Structure formats: C-alpha cells, structure tokens
Structure 1
Amino acid sequence: MTAPSTAPAPPSRGGRWIQQWDPEDETFWKETGEKVARRNLLFSVLSEHIGFSIWTMWSVLVLFMGPEYGLTPADKFLLTSFVTLVGAVVRVPYTFAVAIFGGRNWTIVSAALLLVPTVAAFTVMEPGTSFNTFLLVGLLAGIGGGNFASSMTNINAFFPLRKKGWALGLNAGGGNIGVPVIQLVALAIIGASGGPRVLLGIYIPFIVVAAVLAALFMDNIENVKNDTGAAKDAAKDAHTWIMSFLYIGTFGSFIGYSFAFGQVLTNQFGRTPLEAAYVTFIGPLLGSLIRPLGGWLADKYGGAKITLYNYVGMGVATSVLIAASMEKSLALFTVAFVVLFVLTGLGNGSTFKMIPGIFQNKALAKGLQGEEAAAYGRRLSGASMGLIGAVGALGGVGINLAFRQSFLSYGSGTGAFVAFLVFYAACFVVTWAVYLRRTAAKAETTAATEANPQFSYAEV
C-alpha cells in the first residue's frame, strides 16, 4: 500500500493533473482522496444533469407541437427514436474522450457542446418548419446522452470498489433527474401559456455555468489518460456484452419510457399536453431518485441478486400495464407506469454496481492481488461502462420504435408492452444463468487444474 507520506496533496483548483491516485489505500482515502473525489462527483453530476435535460428535451418539445406543426403521432415517435439513437451512439467516443483528454477537460468540452442543440432548437422551433429540419436538429440533441458515459467512466476512477455502487448510483441518478426536471420546467411553462422557446432560453445560461464550474473545480487523473486500449480489451470480454443486454432492460426502459410516456398518454388516452405534463415527470423523477438506492442495495446484498428480483418486479408491473391498456383504465395505467419507472431506476443502480465487481473478480481469478487487481478492475470496468451505457441506451430506441409500430398497427401501446414483457423475462433468465447459478463449489474443486478457471459472480 502507498504510505501516507507519499500520498499526493489535493490538486489545485486550476485543474492540474493528479499524478498519483490510490483510493483503495484507506489512509490516502481518508486524508486526501475522499474530499477530492466528492468534489469531482458534485460537479460531474451537475454537468451530466444538464446533459440529460438537453438529450430528453424533445420528449417535452413534442408536447408543444400541436396540429399547426403538421406532425403525426408516428412522426413524433420517429423523431424521439432518432434523438435516443444518437445519444446511444455518441456514448462510445465519449468514453474514449476521458482517456484521451482527461475527465475534467472533457467535462468542460462536453458541457459547452450542449449549446449547439439548444441554440439550434431555439432557432427552428415554430410552425412551418419541415419535419426533416426538426429531425436534423433533434439529432444534435443526442450529444447530451454522451455526457453519461464520460461522466461514469471518470467518476469510476475516483472511488474505491467498496464505494462504487453508491458513487456511481449518485452520479447517474443526479444525471437522470435531468429528465423530470426539464419536464417540470415545461409543465410550468405550458401552464403559464409560454412557448417552447422559453424552455430553451432558460437552459442556455445553465449550460454555460456547468462548463465554467467544471473548469474551476474538477480534476484529471493521470493514470486514466492515454489508455484507449482498455476499451478494446473490454469489447473483447463477453461480460461487457452480457451486461449491455441487461442494461437495455433497465436503462433502455428508463430513457425510452421517458421519451414516450407523454406521447402514450396523449395518443392513447386523449390527454392534453398540459394534462400529460402533470404526470409524465413523476416516473422519471422517482426512477432517478431511487437509482442510488439500487447501488447501495447492490453494495450490501450483491448486484446480481437485486437485479434478478428487480426484473421480476418489472415483469409484474408490465403485466398490469397490459391489462390497464386493454381495459382503458387511465388511473391503473398511470400508477403501473410510475411503478415501472421506479423499478428501472433501481435496476440501473444494481446493474452498474455489478460491472466493477465482475472485473475485480476476473482480476482475482488471474492471480492478481492488491493494487494490481484493483487497477485491472478499474481499467476494464471504466472502459466497459461506456460501451454498456451505449448499448443500453439503444433500448430506448427500440421502445420508441415499438410504440410507433404498435400505434400504427393496433392504435394503442398494448402490443409494445407485450414485447417488453418477453424481453424482461429473457433478462431474468440471463441474470440467473450467468451470475447466480450455483457453480462456486465446482469452481473451487477445479480451479487448481483448469487452464481457465471458472468462478462465481454471486456477490457482484
């Protein structure tokens, strides 16, 4: 372990690179590391929060777009699908960006880039604008989705393994809250008979503030820089893709429903934009707030166990949604949808806690110990988070496209919910088969002789 006398001093507010960083050293963590890590977490949350707001702003802008805009329900679902798609795709380069530029530096750039889609939307948001123009400007908003990947990769490097579930859950949850916040602001504006440009104008100065605060108070970690090969190694690992599949079920559901909830209420239940806005923020808000709890529960009981039980709950809630949709019960439908949002948030926290645990176990299986094992786990888990976050966000694309097709084919979202139920059942099976099936006893008896020993993931 690093001796206390060699622990680096807290970096300057000028954003100098931290040359040594060992959060697993308890002495270093108590004397220096925790304070620095928490400060970076705070301003990371702020930037990611604004990013989520800008990414999902079209979920509320479409509510402003009445008949005078000439868009059909299918057009609006297609628009939000493409916004979600771009947000998923840019998460991959945003993950690399942390290794290339440094966490603080990229937070400044990624926050400032949010001005592009916001100003563009402010310019074109009026009746008479073509659908293709709205589609192009909506694609620009997708860059807000990338902030999550770079932020999670950066914060993962700051915290010790025993704190990652809580820290990553808080970082992601604080970002996710950007979804209901922009919906709440839109509700206030619609209620005051304001237009969409008022909403966009409110966010422009906040973007500038987030970039400036990141420049003043965040730091870069030297040993994270120039390790782009970690993403290649993570991409070769089967667990990166298994966890991507599970994250489609949790975060893909969260972001997809965040974009679609208001549209489902207006198209299937005849709610006005104001009536829809009164309830659409509740699900994303509760789902965001509970994400840190999902991480904390995973720290205490194991991420795989919490994720497994969570998929059971999601299946039950979806079954209720199907029944409510068929019976046209708005009250039951709304309650079940909010419950499903809560469960997506809980699952978001537990699945992301699993990632560092998986790669730490792989390090131990390779015979690594101490800081060497911790460094291996940090390296691959940080890289894999961007890839997992990108694939998971693609679930939001699938959800919006499924709703679009369901409304075109059946005039309601019932068909889409049936498809979601089947997918959650598949996620349950994969979680149990890969991470909870009892193979530990067999592993213990064969590890000494096997060239590639197996090990149990029950505690990840």
Structure 2
Amino acid sequence: MPTPSVTSRGPSAPDGTWLERWEPENDAFWRNGGASLAWRTLTITTLCLTMAFMSWFLVSALVVRLPQIGFKFSPTELFWLAAMPGLAGGTLRLVHMFLTPMVGTRHVVSLSTLSLLLPLVGWFYVVQDISTPYWVLMVLAFLAGLGGGNFSSFMPSTSLFFPKRLQGTALAIQAGIGNFGVSIVQFVTPWVISFPLLAGATWMGTSQTMVKGGVTSQVWLQNAPAVMIPLVAVFGITAWLLLKSVPVKANFAEQFDIFRSRHTWSMTSLYIMTFGAFSGLSATFPLLIKQIYGQFPGAPDPLAWAFWGPLVGSASRVVAGPLSDKLGGARVTHWAGLGMLGAALWVTTLTQPSGLESFPMFVAGMLTLFFFAGVGNASTFKQMPMLFPPRQAGGVIGFTAAIAAYGPFLFGMLFAWSFAQFKAATPVFWGLAAFFAFNVALNWWMYARRGAANPC
C-alpha cells in the first residue's frame, strides 16, 4: 500500500498536544482534516472566550448595584472598581501574547479558562457581606481581568489555524461572539439576581435588601457569578480534552521581532480606536447612564439599557468579518473610523441634559458608536494577517489586543476625572473625536488610499 503523499495527509498529534504539521494554505491538507479541526478549535475556543468576557465584565454589571444594597462607596471609588478589570486585562494580555507559541493552544485555552473560577468564586461570597473592605473588592476586580487577558492568546491561536482567505471571518466570529459575553452578563445579571437560584440550598447564601428609588426589594447578587461557575468548569475541561496545538513555536525573546515593524505600532493605534473604545465604553456605559441621567425623576435603570451597546458592537463585528475578507480590511476600517468620529461628535451634544427627553438620542448616539467600533474591530484583525507572516501576525494581534484592553481602565479614569473636574463627560468625548480623526488619517495614508505602499 503506497504511503500517502505529504500534500494529502491531514493533521495528527502523536503526543496528544502538538500537531505534527499544520498547513492551512495547502488545499489538500485543509480538505483532509485540517478544516474540521480548525472549526472545532474555533468553536471550543469561542465558547471559552465568551465566558472570559463575561467574567471580565461581571464587575461592570454588579458595580451599579453595590450602593443599592448597602456598600458605601463614592462615585470615584465605583469608577475605580469598574476600571480595575481593564487594568488587569491589559496587563495580563501582555503576558498572554507570548504564550501560544510557547505552550500551545491546548494548555493556554484550558488552563486560562479554569483560572476564571478564582474571581467568580470570590465575587460569589463578597457581595453577600457589605462589611467587605474596599481593598478586597479591588483585588477581586483585578482578578476579573483574568478573563480579559485570555483574548491575547486565544485570538493569535485562531489566526494560526486558518488560511489567510478565511482569517477575517474566523477572527470576527470568535471575537464577535466572545464579545457577546459583555452584553450577556449585563443583560442576564438584572434578571438572575431577582430570585433565589436554588430555593432551599443554604450554601447558595441569603438575599440582600436593595433600595432603589425609595422602593425596597430582595436580590441575590451572588447568582450572577454562580451561574457562570459550572459553565467555566465544563468548557475548561472540554478544551483540555479536545484541543490540539499548532506546531508554530517561538521562545520569549524571538517574539520581540514584531516591535521592529512600523505596522505593529500603527495597527496598535487603530485597534485602540476600535476595541479600546468598545471595551472602555462597555465597562463604563452603565455608570455613564447613571451619572448623566440618574438625577432626573423616573430615571432609567442603567442595566436595562447598557447591554445594548456591547450587543450591537459584537453583532457588527461578526458581520464585518466576511465583509472585510471581501472588500479589504483597510477600506472597512476607514469607514468605521469615520462612523466613530461622527458618533462621538453627536454624543457631545447629549452629555449635559436638562431632562430625560434627550435620553433616547443619547442611547442612539452611543449605539452608533458601538456599531462602528465593532465593524472596526473586525476589519483591523483582517489587516494584521495580511501585513505579517503567521507567527508574527499572531504576536501583533496579541500585542494590539493587550494595549487596547486597557480601554476599561483608561475610560474609567477619564470619566472619573471628567466628572470630578467638569461635572460632565463632554470633554472625554471631544478627546475621543480627536483621536478617531487622527486614526482615520493614519489608516488612509498607510493602507486605504490609492497607491498606498501596504494595501491590506
């Protein structure tokens, strides 16, 4: 019986973790098992990434309820709590960006997912005790950033599994669905905390008394992390059992070669514009609604509206992936940046209201900003694999994602400063508009204009 040719064999992993070979650009290899393994990996990793984003943004969903159940925190302290997962997420992404070529997809995805149990179990207990010191909550808010860190190893891993012609689609699906974790946790939390999750189970804890608008009710804040704990455990174990690792390896020092390219820095700026804005506004949107419109009679519940922002941004990211594969990432990024610029200027007219009549327009302006940020998230991730070879592209994806993940921390600090100094969020949105305009010009000159040296 003849030995199969090297061009027709599919992938195999004799040691249980590392594949012998991986050639996604080889059509025969892709048909003979490569495609099925890539899509399986994408499915499992995306489920794990969704739980990571839910864990990362859990604090943003809980922080608006803490004063209502008796925690005594100032608005600045609340913004710090909302910002801390962003600080951790960005910092941990700087570590994660190196991990996939060093230890492989299987170990990174499974162990990183299981690490989410630390903040989830911690938050399960502390929300039941209003005497918990502020520093303990800050530590747990930082640990929630473990979920944010995962992105910078999961996404480079996915970029290695797919051919260039499908990378825009694959990365948009994974990041877009993963980003849905933000809106899921902000949407589900108000509902799941409203009833005892397991009636009669004393280990689930007791209710807290919430006072909102003079109305008293019973809530179970611990339910929000509780529903996530078993899912995290199951997905983490599944990743360990079913995932493999692509044989693209590099040590820590070798991966620093990406910093010699000007494209690393330009793409970092573009991704800060898109994902930095998405993540930063996702984390602070509930508090923005509370601070800007919460003083009026009949003020809206922030969590009844805030989840729409990340939902819209996540959905547009999924749709914009195939569009970027078809039209080119730079062209889509150009129009996304212009859309973000227009939306930011629109919002500046709605941040110092005299009543609730402008609230629908404020939400519309913010959702427009989220929509174009999601589109730009997808298109920039199409640009990077076109500018770099596979291993370097993974590193650049990880690095840009790491820096942009400081969005929740940076936005939290900016809004805290703006409200303290000017009693309004308007200066922040003017600053964002200027930053968006700079990046539109940068992307047009380097990648989108006719005759650009590196069209992508």
| Fold in common (TM above 0.5) | yes
Amino acid in the other structure paired with 1:267: Q
1:123 corresponds to 2:125: yes
Instruction: Classify 1:160/1:81 alpha carbon distance in 2 versus 1 (closer, same or farther; 3 Å).
Output: same
Amino acid in the other structure paired with 1:207: V
Amino acid in the other structure paired with 2:306: T
Whole-Å Cα distance in 2 between the matches of residues 276 and 322 of structure 1? 19
1:200 corresponds to 2:225: yes
Q: Secondary structure at the match of 1:220?
A: coil
Query: What is the aligned partner in structure 1 of residue 203 from structure 2?
Result: none
1:183 corresponds to 2:186: yes
Whole-Å Cα distance in 2 between the matches of residues 127 and 14 of structure 1? 50
In the TM superposition, what is the alpha-carbon distance from 1:339 to its structure 2 partner? 1.4
Q: Secondary structure at the match of 1:326?
A: coil
In the TM superposition, what is the alpha-carbon distance from 1:228 to its structure 2 partner? 3.5
Amino acid in the other structure paired with 2:384: I
Query: What is the aligned partner in structure 1 of residue 78 from structure 2?
Result: 76
Q: Secondary structure at the match of 2:23?
A: coil
In the TM superposition, what is the alpha-carbon distance from 1:235 to its structure 2 partner? 2.0
1:134 corresponds to 2:137: yes
- Aligned counterpart in structure 1 of residue 444 of structure 2, from 417, 432, 439: 432
Query: What is the aligned partner in structure 1 of residue 397 from structure 2?
Result: 385
Question: What is the TM-score of this pair, normalised by structure 2?
Answer: 0.89
Question: What is the TM-score of this pair, normalised by structure 1?
Answer: 0.88
Amino acid in the other structure paired with 2:103: F
Query: What is the aligned partner in structure 1 of residue 433 from structure 2?
Result: 421
Q: Secondary structure at the match of 2:351?
A: helix
Whole-Å Cα distance in 2 between the matches of residues 405 and 92 of structure 1? 26
Amino acid in the other structure paired with 2:41: N
Q: Determine which structure has the larger helix proportion and give its number.
A: 1
Whole-Å Cα distance in 1 between the matches of residues 171 and 327 of structure 2? 16
Query: What is the aligned partner in structure 2 of residue 407 from structure 1?
Result: 419
Whole-Å Cα distance in 2 between the matches of residues 7 and 117 of structure 1? 46
Determine if contact 2:192/2:224 at 8 Å carries over to the other structure.
yes
Instruction: Classify 1:14/1:269 alpha carbon distance in 2 versus 1 (closer, same or farther; 3 Å).
Output: farther
In the TM superposition, what is the alpha-carbon distance from 1:8 to its structure 2 partner? 3.8
Unaligned runs of 5+ in 1: 360-376, 441-455
Determine if contact 2:25/2:163 at 8 Å carries over to the other structure.
yes
Determine if contact 1:87/1:142 at 8 Å carries over to the other structure.
yes
Amino acid in the other structure paired with 2:381: F
Residue by residue, what CA displacement relative to the aligned partner does 1:218-259 show, whole Å, maximum 9, x if unpaired?
Answer: 11112x234444520112222111111111110001111111
Q: Secondary structure at the match of 2:350?
A: helix
CA RMSD of aligned residues (A): 1.9
In the TM superposition, what is the alpha-carbon distance from 1:124 to its structure 2 partner? 1.9
Query: What is the aligned partner in structure 1 of residue 208 from structure 2?
Result: none
Query: What is the aligned partner in structure 1 of residue 255 from structure 2?
Result: 231
Query: What is the aligned partner in structure 2 of residue 172 from structure 1?
Result: 175
Query: What is the aligned partner in structure 2 of residue 221 from structure 1?
Result: 246
Q: Secondary structure at the match of 1:149?
A: helix
Query: What is the aligned partner in structure 1 of residue 153 from structure 2?
Result: 150
Instruction: Classify 1:389/1:240 alpha carbon distance in 2 versus 1 (closer, same or farther; 3 Å).
Output: same
Query: What is the aligned partner in structure 2 of residue 453 from structure 1?
Result: none
Whole-Å Cα distance in 1 between the matches of residues 40 and 74 of structure 2? 46
Whole-Å Cα distance in 1 between the matches of residues 16 and 152 of structure 2? 21
Determine if contact 1:250/1:345 at 8 Å carries over to the other structure.
yes
Determine if contact 1:14/1:216 at 8 Å carries over to the other structure.
no
Whole-Å Cα distance in 1 between the matches of residues 299 and 22 of structure 2? 50
Determine if contact 2:10/2:29 at 8 Å carries over to the other structure.
no
1:32 corresponds to 2:22: no
Kindly report structure 1 stretches of 4+ aligned residues shifted beyond 6 Å.
Answer: 271-274
The within-5 A match list for 1:346-365 is 346-359=375-388
Residue by residue, what CA displacement relative to the aligned partner does 1:238-289 show, whole Å, maximum 9, x if unpaired?
Answer: 2111111111110001111111000011111017898211111111012112
Determine if contact 1:299/1:353 at 8 Å carries over to the other structure.
yes
**Deviating more after overlay: 24-33 vs 272-281:** 272-281
Amino acid in the other structure paired with 2:73: L
Aligned residues: 424
Instruction: Classify 1:4/1:71 alpha carbon distance in 2 versus 1 (closer, same or farther; 3 Å).
Output: farther
- Aligned counterpart in structure 2 of residue 85 of structure 1, from 84, 87, 103: 87
